[in-house]
C-alpha cells in the first residue's frame, strides 16, 4: 500500500482527492494538512467522508514518511512547498498552476509575479497521461493540469496533431461553480450566479497560455487560442466548445477516425455522438464529440472539473508514478442522471 499526503486538505481539490483515495486499493492517505482545521478530524469538516477517512488534519507533513504528496494549495504558495518536499525524496503532484508553464517569463506575465523555483519547473511533467504517460511514470514532480485546459486540450489536440486544422482556435467554455474553489466570492454568490451564465476573464484567463503551451508541445502547431470561460449554475462539470478551421474540408467520419485513432486505447477518453456533462460527472471520464460544417469543425469536451479536471487526473498520474495500475481507484462510471 503506497502512502500519500495531501497538503491543503480543506479545499475542494484536497477533499476530492480524499474522496477518491479513500476507496483506492493501492494508495492510502496517511496525512492531510490544513492551516485552519489542524487538530480537527477530517470527517468533521468533510462530513461525507465519515467512516471512510478518520484522521486528523495536521499543520505540516513529513515527506520522508510518504510515497507521494499532493499539493493542493493556491497558486504561488505551491512553489514554496514543492522544492522542500522534493528534497525529502517524495514524489510530488502539484494541483496549482505553478509548474504547468515552462517559460518563467510567460509565468510572470500571466500570474503577475516571479517564479521562485525555476529549477524544478524545468523538471516538472504536465500530468496528462493521454499525452505524457511515459514521462509521468518517471517524474518526481508532476504539474496537474487545469480543469479548462484538460477539457480543451483533450478536445482539440488530435486535430492539431493530425495537421487537419489551422492554428487559430476559439474556445467557448462553461464551468460549474465548484471550479472556483471553496472560498465564497461575489461571483459564486448564489443570488448572483444561480439563474444566470456569466462570462469572465474573457481572453485573460490563466489557462490560455497553459493550453497553448501544451498543445504546441504535442502538435508543434503554435496554436493561438481565444478563450472565453463562462460560469454555469451547476456545481460540477465543464463543457468546452472548441471551434477550429480545417486546412482541407473533412467529413464527420474523417474527424471521428482521427479521434478514435488517438484515444481508442485510452481508458478515460471516449468519442461519442452526444457528449454530456451529466454522463461524466463524478467520474474520471472525458467525452468528446465533433461536427464538421464546411471549413469549420466544432469539438465538444465534457469532464467533471473536480475529477478528470483536477483530483481524478492527479490520482491517475499518481498511479503511473507509483507503478500501480493506471486506472486504480478510478474505475467508476459517471452518474448519468
Report the site for its own copies in 251-290 (rule: CB under 8 A).
267, 270, 272, 274, 276-283, 285, 287
Nearer to its own copies, 109 or 189 (CB): 189
Q: How far is the CB of 191 from its own copies (least distance, A)?
A: 4
Cβ(165)–Cβ(220) below 8 Å: no
Helix (H) or strand (E) holding 263: helix 252-263
Helix (H) or strand (E) holding 174: strand 168-175
Name the CA dihedral angle for 162, 166, 172, 173, rounded to a multiple of 10 degrees: 30
291 binds its own copies (CB under 8 A): yes
Q: How far is the CB of 3 from its own copies (least distance, A)?
A: 20
80 binds its own copies (CB under 8 A): no
For its own copies, which stretch binds (CB under 8 A), given 28-36, 106-114, 186-194, 317-325?
Answer: 186-194
Q: Residue 142: left if φ>0, alpha if ψ -120 to 50, beta else—which one?
A: beta
Q: Which of residues 97-116 bind its own copies (CB under 8 A)?
A: none
Nearer to its own copies, 121 or 238 (CB): 238
243 binds its own copies (CB under 8 A): yes
Q: How far is the CB of 77 from its own copies (least distance, A)?
A: 21
23 binds its own copies (CB under 8 A): yes
Instruction: Taking the CA atoms of 87, 92, 96 and 97 in sequence, report the sign of the dihedral they define.
Output: positive
Q: How far is the CB of 172 from its own copies (least distance, A)?
A: 4
193 binds its own copies (CB under 8 A): yes
Nearer to its own copies, 120 or 313 (CB): 313
Mark whether 22 is an active-site residue: no
**Which one among 77, 180, 217, 324 touches its own copies, defined by CB under 8 A?**
180
How many whole angstroms separate alpha carbon 23 and alpha carbon 10? 19
Residues in binding contact with its own copies, number by CB under 8 A:
77
Please count the other Cβ atoms lying within 10 Å of the Cβ belonging to residue 29.
23
How many whole angstroms separate alpha carbon 255 and alpha carbon 277? 21
Q: How far is the CB of 243 from its own copies (least distance, A)?
A: 5
Using only C-alpha atoms, the chain has a radius of gyration, in whole angstroms, of 19
Please count the other Cβ atoms lying within 10 Å of the Cβ belonging to residue 282.
18
249 binds its own copies (CB under 8 A): no
Question: Environment class of residue 194 by beta-carbon count within 10 Å: exposed (0-12), middle (13-18) or buried (19+)?
Answer: exposed
Helix (H) or strand (E) holding 269: strand 269-271
16 binds its own copies (CB under 8 A): yes
**Which one among 35, 40, 50, 260 touches its own copies, defined by CB under 8 A?**
50
**Which one among 217, 298, 322, 324 touches its own copies, defined by CB under 8 A?**
298
91 binds its own copies (CB under 8 A): no
Nearer to its own copies, 1 or 235 (CB): 235
**Which one among 153, 154, 214, 232 touches its own copies, defined by CB under 8 A?**
232
**Which one among 31, 236, 258, 310 touches its own copies, defined by CB under 8 A?**
236
Q: For 309, which DSSP code? A: I
334 binds its own copies (CB under 8 A): yes
Length of the chain in terms of residues written? 337
Cβ(32)–Cβ(6) below 8 Å: yes
55 binds its own copies (CB under 8 A): no
How many whole angstroms separate alpha carbon 62 and alpha carbon 270? 39
Q: Retrieve residue 240's grid coordinates.
A: 468546452
Catalytic site positions: 147
Amino acid at each position: 500500500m503506497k502512502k500519500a499526503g495531501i497538503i491543503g486538505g480543506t479545499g475542494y481539490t484536497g477533499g476530492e482527492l480524499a474522496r477518491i483515495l479513500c476507496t483506492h486499493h493501492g494508495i492510502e492517505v496517511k496525512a492531510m494538512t490544513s492551516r485552519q482545521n489542524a487538530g480537527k478530524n477530517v470527517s468533521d469538516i468533510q462530513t461525507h467522508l465519515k467512516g471512510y477517512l478518520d484522521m486528523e488534519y495536521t499543520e505540516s507533513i513529513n515527506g520522508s514518511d510518504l510515497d507521494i504528496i499532493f499539493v493542493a494549495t493556491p497558486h504561488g504558495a505551491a512553489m514554496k512547498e514543492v522544492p522542500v518536499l522534493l528534497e525529502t525524496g517524495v514524489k510530488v503532484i502539484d494541483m496549482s498552476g505553478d509548474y504547468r508553464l515552462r517559460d518563467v517569463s510567460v509565468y510572470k506575465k500571466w500570474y503577475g509575479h516571479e517564479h521562485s523555483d525555476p529549477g524544478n519547473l524545468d523538471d516538472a511533467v504536465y500530468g496528462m497521461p493521454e499525452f505524457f504517460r511515459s514521462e509521468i511514470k518517471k517524474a518526481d514532480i508532476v504539474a496537474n493540469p487545469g480543469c479548462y485546459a484538460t477539457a480543451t486540450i483533450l478536445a482539440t489536440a488530435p486535430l492539431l496533431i493530425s495537421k487537419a486544422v489551422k492554428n487559430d482556435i476559439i474556445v467557448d467554455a462553461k464551468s460549474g461553480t465548484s471550479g472556483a474553489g471553496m472560498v465564497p466570492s461575489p461571483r459564486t454568490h448564489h443570488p448572483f450566479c444561480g439563474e444566470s451564465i456569466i462570462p469572465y476573464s474573457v481572453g485573460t484567463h490563466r489557462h490560455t497560455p497553459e493550453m497553448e503551451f501544451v498543445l504546441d508541445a504535442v502538435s508543434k502547431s503554435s496554436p493561438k487560442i481565444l478563450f472565453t470561460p463562462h460560469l454555469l449554475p451547476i456545481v460540477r462539470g465543464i463543457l468546452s466548445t472548441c471551434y477550429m478551421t480545417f486546412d482541407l474540408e473533412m467529413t464527420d467520419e474523417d474527424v471521428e477516425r482521427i479521434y478514435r485513432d488517438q484515444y481508442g486505447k485510452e481508458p478515460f477518453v471516449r468519442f461519442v455522438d452526444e457528449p454530456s456533462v451529466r454522463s461524466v460527472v463524478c467520474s474520471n471520464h472525458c467525452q468528446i464529440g465533433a461536427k464538421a460544417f464546411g471549413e469549420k469543425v466544432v469539438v465538444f469536451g465534457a469532464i467533471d472539473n473536480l475529477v478528470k479536471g483536477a483530483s481524478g487526473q492527479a490520482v491517475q498520474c499518481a498511479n503511473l508514478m507509483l507503478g500501480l495500475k493506471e486506472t486504480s481507484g478510478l474505475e467508476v462510471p459517471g452518474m448519468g442522471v
